[in-house]
Amino acid sequence: MPRPAAVGGRHTVIAVDLPGYGEDRRPVADITLQAYADKVLAAVDAAEEPVVLVGWSMGGIVISTVAEQRHERIAHLVYLAAFMLPRGVIPFQFVQPTREYWEPSRIFRYQIVEPNKGIYWVVADGVRELFLNDGNDADVAWVTKRLQHDYLAPLSTPVQVSAECWGSIPRTYMETLHDQAMPIAAQRTMQRLLPGATVRSLATGHSPQITRPDETADLLLTVTKSIH
């Protein structure tokens, strides 16, 4: 886990390396949705006060799982172009090219799945179109250098949330209007399935934290101000 960083002298930011990513290089067989949640739960439990959890893309199912298991320690949930799914939904079943809301996605052009190995990945040629369609060459080079495979098990696990726990936490959905990976139609379908989130819009592709970091940070600061 990277060292916490002070932001503007007021906030502490902790970026958690999920199992299989960053410095946490455990075997594929040990990588599950609960393993992801356990890593984040450790950071939540170590915090001195309730936290704001931000999940990007697949990270949405992680913060939902953590929130369900530790709702009293979460001040706010932020879904940044992320999966925000109802109880019992399997992410991979939500992501289907035959579904109207997902049909615009370009991900199926560039995704390779190896079920026997429990992994999938996006080929390098798809980085710009899928994730950085509003980025520059430096953004694409930076992401491509760090590209790695992802894991099937977490996305094959039904989401478990309840009104009593997860539903008791205020949440914000930060939608990305020009997203080529998770189409805006899919993002708004999730908002309809689970109403109640404050919605903020970014005129970006799937990775505003890379292509528009200042704008993304400003929106996150708006969320933290609403808590106090």
Q: What is the pLDDT of residues 67-112, one digit of tens each?
A: 999 999 999 999 999 999 999 999 999 999 999 999 999 999 999 9
- What is the pTM assigned to this prediction? 0.94
Q: For the chain, where are the alpha helices, taking DSSP H only?
A: 33-46, 59-69, 91-94, 107-110, 127-131, 137-145, 152-155, 184-193, 208-211, 213-227
Decide if pLDDT at 165 tops 50.
yes
Share of the chain above pLDDT 90, in %: 89
Structure confidence at residue 23 (pLDDT): 85
pLDDT at 1: 29
Task: State the pLDDT at residue 4.
Answer: 35
Rounded Cα gap, residues 18 and 23, in angstroms: 9
CA distance readout (Å), 208 to 23, 77, 115, 173, 199: 24, 17, 30, 13, 15
pLDDT category at 122 given cuts 50, 70, 90 is: very high
CATH, range 5-227: 3.40.50.1820
Query: Residue 26 above 70 pLDDT?
Result: yes
pLDDT of 2 above 90: no
pLDDT value for 3: 32
In the chain, domain spans: 5-227
Better pLDDT: 22 or 216? 216
pLDDT band at 228 (very low <50, low <70, confident <90, very high): low
